[in-house]
Structure 1
Amino acid sequence: MKIALIIGTTLGGAEAVADELQPVLESAGHEIHYGLDFDPQALLEAPFWLLVTSTHGAGELPENLLPFAHWLETQPDLSQHRYALCGIGDSSYDTFCGALDLLDPALRSSGATPLVDKIRIDVQQIDLPEDQALSWLTGWLDRI
């Protein structure tokens, strides 16, 4: 299956997590469109989207994810698409993984359907964010 691996990052943490998830998805036989840049055609061709994002500032999307968010607002029907959300953040902030709270309602209002519950990864935990994301992914990968 074609999967769009969408990354929202400011300092590279979400990109590092996505870099670990990509080979797992590929080894499961999926074709991955990986990118930090917004490519609407690739998104429309991929029935499943995996979004890995950090949160910027006071609960905002990283700058590179803004074109995607604006595009979502103009899409009349994305009901043929499913998605999963992985947030990377620091729980000492009151806007911990706030980007997920912006993306999830936007995706749902466009008709896209979540495949699994989103994960909020706390960089303050002992386990590496990459390990937490891999554990989450392998728990539902066979459902794609």
Structure 2
Amino acid sequence: MKKINIVFGSVYGSAQYVAETLDTALNDAGCQVQLWQPEHLSDFVPPEDELLLVVTSTTGDGDLPDNIAPWFIMMKDRAPYLPELHYAVIGLGDSSYDTFCGGGKQIDALLSELGAKRVGERLDIDACETMEPETEALQWLKKWLPLADSVSQQIG
């Protein structure tokens, strides 16, 4: 399988913990993984020959957390064309707000606008339904890994 880059944006630490949990699970599955700390994302444009997994919470009125917002803005401003990039998004939010998982939806929309292709469905985790978002993310990962492996084989 291709290398998987994990990027996260977190306010209170839940999205970071989910990203770290997925990093461990993917390493245990024998995948090559790079977990990017938000402060190292300033010039990071995801390589198209690798997979991208973004985990982000939502804050304010559907906004991205402050630690991932600069990366999002840089990607939007540079607008690199990424037609060979394959990605997945996990959004964390609270369904009692109209802007439920708005951060994940923004990332998903931007990557799609840049020509990237999503692998599988976006996972939106509702804080009203689960106190352990990492458990839900690990269940999703079981379905996503075979899809990601298939994509990796198709793209060489």
TM-score past 0.5 threshold: yes
Contact 1:4 1:46 in 2 (8 A): no
TM norm structure 2: 0.84
| Aligned match of 2:4 | 3
| Aligned match of 2:135 | 131
Aligned pairs (5 A) from 1:1-144: 1-37=2-38, 38=41, 40-41=43-44, 43-44=46-47, 47-73=50-76, 74-126=78-130, 128-144=132-148
C-alpha displacement of 1:67? 2.2
Letter in 1 for 2:32: E
Write the deviation string for residues 20-74 of structure 1: whole angstroms up to 9, x where unpaired. 1111111222211112221545732762111110001110011111122122221
Contact 1:4 1:42 in 2 (8 A): no
TM norm structure 1: 0.90
Unaligned runs of 5+ in 1: none
User: Which runs of 4 or more aligned residues in structure 1 lie more than 4 Å from their structure 2 counterparts after TM superposition?
Assistant: none
What count of residue pairs does the alignment treat as equivalent? 144
Counting aligned pairs with the same residue, the percent is: 36
CA RMSD of aligned residues (A): 1.8
Contact 2:7 2:55 in 1 (8 A): yes
| Aligned match of 2:153 | none
Partner SS state of residue 141, structure 2? helix
C-alpha displacement of 1:95? 1.1
| Aligned match of 2:152 | none
Bigger shift: 52-61 or 23-32? 23-32
